[in-house]
């Protein structure tokens, strides 16, 4: 008897995390349907997936799960660093949103059997006394002085409790090292992208950086296989920051003082140079390294690029993007070219005036084509 095809709900498809996972899942012959939700329109093509403009804090989540028969939920909406989200809004999205999503997956008649959470290695904190090669059973930094970190630790605790109360649902929490995506760089990636990278004087932290494609591959693997539990998702081994910067040909200098570091970071942010959150400042002093043995053994995940290769690829692509034409201005230019082309075709077909003048302007101007994704009405 053929196995039942999967029906998957992915949160956070406006950003690359959710959208690129959707792109992979819709290609899987074992997946019958993928629905992506977010409060903003996706920037990426979602293929044959359905998109719903829906807040995870909305009570309709549970109705959607049951109406569609969702058996797998991939929650990528959690954020531990943000340029544009203050701690209060982040708490509502991370904690309240996740609680509501879990409530929608629970209860009698729920078809959900697998829940994958995008977490972060920031849950371990970053301190001078952390051991190298942190394993998943290491104590989490629940008393962190940073709100974003406390929120993600709290999210993991709720997800773990949910798994204990709902043993039929496999819960997987993926704790990612800092990711690198040239198209949508997060705060640490944008800091590393500076022409001259200011480092903390007297410190050379060991970092694990992971390529965007490896992040997506890990999320897709976790939707399909592996036992419940937490997994570190990172490249094997850590590299000193100075060595990473040198390997990519990046200029760097110890311009940040170790004392008064927060004040220096505030000045850098006000100047519009870079945004360094408190948890990133800790990372730039103390670093962090994760053991990846469990993910390799139980998920079958191994990053294809090490930290150095991931950073070099990121740097090269960012250099290319600097010289690429602005996408918005190009769109207008393309619209004008298309408009002129239609007029030329009309004239060649004898549709112009007898004196050779162009036909009267069309009543509707050309509009950019929408990205290809289908909208779907919410279940009633």
- Write the pLDDT tens digit of every residue in 237-249: 899 999 999 999 9
Tokens read off for 63 = 């109705």
What band does 271 get if pLDDT is binned at 50, 70 and 90? Answer: confident
- Cβ 276 vs Cβ 284: under 8 Å: yes
CA distances from residue 166 to 64, 65, 108, 162, 226 in whole angstroms, order as listed: 19, 16, 10, 6, 18
**pLDDT value of residue 102:** 96
- Write the pLDDT tens digit of every residue in 7-62: 999 999 999 999 999 999 999 999 999 999 999 999 999 999 999 999 988 888 99
Q: Which of 250, 182, 245, 248 is nearest to 212 (CA)?
A: 182
- Cβ 188 vs Cβ 180: under 8 Å: no
**pLDDT value of residue 273:** 78
Pairwise pLDDT comparison (352 vs 67), residue with the higher score = 67
What band does 367 get if pLDDT is binned at 50, 70 and 90? Answer: very low
- Write the pLDDT tens digit of every residue in 84-120: 567 788 888 899 999 999 999 998 889 999 999 999 9
CA distances from residue 346 to 6, 341, 351 in whole angstroms, order as listed: 50, 9, 5
Domains and CATH numbers, the chain: 6-322 (3.40.50.720)
- Write the pLDDT tens digit of every residue in 204-226: 999 999 999 999 999 999 999 99
What band does 260 get if pLDDT is binned at 50, 70 and 90? Answer: confident
What band does 335 get if pLDDT is binned at 50, 70 and 90? Answer: low
């Amino acid at each position: 008897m053929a196995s039942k095809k999967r029906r998957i709900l992915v949160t956070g498809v406006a950003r690359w995390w959710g959208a690129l996972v959707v792109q992979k899942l819709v290609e899987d012959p074992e997946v019958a349907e993928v629905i992506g939700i977010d409060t903003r329109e996706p920037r990426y093509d979602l293929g044959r997936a359905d998109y719903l403009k829906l807040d995870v804090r909305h009570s309709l989540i549970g109705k959607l799960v049951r109406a569609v028969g969702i058996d797998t939920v991939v929650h990528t909406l959690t954020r531990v660093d943000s340029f544009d989200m203050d701690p209060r809004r982040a708490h509502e999205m991370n904690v309240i949103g996740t609680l509501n999503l879990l409530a929608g997956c629970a209860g009698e008649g729920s078809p959900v059997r697998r829940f994958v959470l995008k977490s972060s290695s920031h849950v371990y904190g970053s301190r001078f006394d952390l051991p190298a090669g942190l394993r998943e059973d290491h104590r989490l930094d629940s008393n962190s002085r940073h709100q974003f970190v406390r929120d993600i630790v709290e999210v993991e605790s709720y997800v773990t409790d949910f798994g204990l109360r709902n043993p039929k649902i496999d819960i997987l929490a993926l704790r990612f090292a800092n990711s690198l995506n040239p198209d949508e760089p997060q705060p640490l990636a944008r800091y590393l992208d500076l022409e001259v990278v200011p480092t903390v004087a007297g410190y050379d932290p060991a970092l694990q950086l992971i390529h965007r494609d490896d992040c997506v591959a890990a999320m897709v693997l976790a939707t399909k296989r592996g036992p419940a539990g937490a997994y570190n998702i990172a490249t094997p081994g850590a590299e000193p920051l100075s060595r990473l910067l040198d390997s990519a040909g990046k200029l760097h200098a110890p311009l940040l003082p170790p004392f008064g570091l927060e004040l220096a970071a505030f000045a850098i942010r006000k100047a519009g140079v870079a945004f360094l959150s408190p948890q990133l400042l800790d990372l730039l002093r103390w670093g962090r390294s994760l053991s990846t043995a469990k993910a390799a053994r139980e998920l079958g995940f191994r990053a294809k690029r090490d930290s150095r290769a991931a950073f070099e690829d990121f740097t090269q692509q960012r250099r290319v993007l600097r010289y690429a034409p602005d996408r918005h201005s190009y769109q207008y230019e393309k619209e004008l070219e298309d408009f002129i082309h239609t007029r030329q075709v009309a004239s060649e077909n004898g549709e112009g005036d007898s004196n050779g003048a162009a036909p009267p302007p069309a009543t509707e101007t050309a509009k950019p084509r929408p990205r290809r994704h289908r909208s779907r009405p919410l279940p009633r």
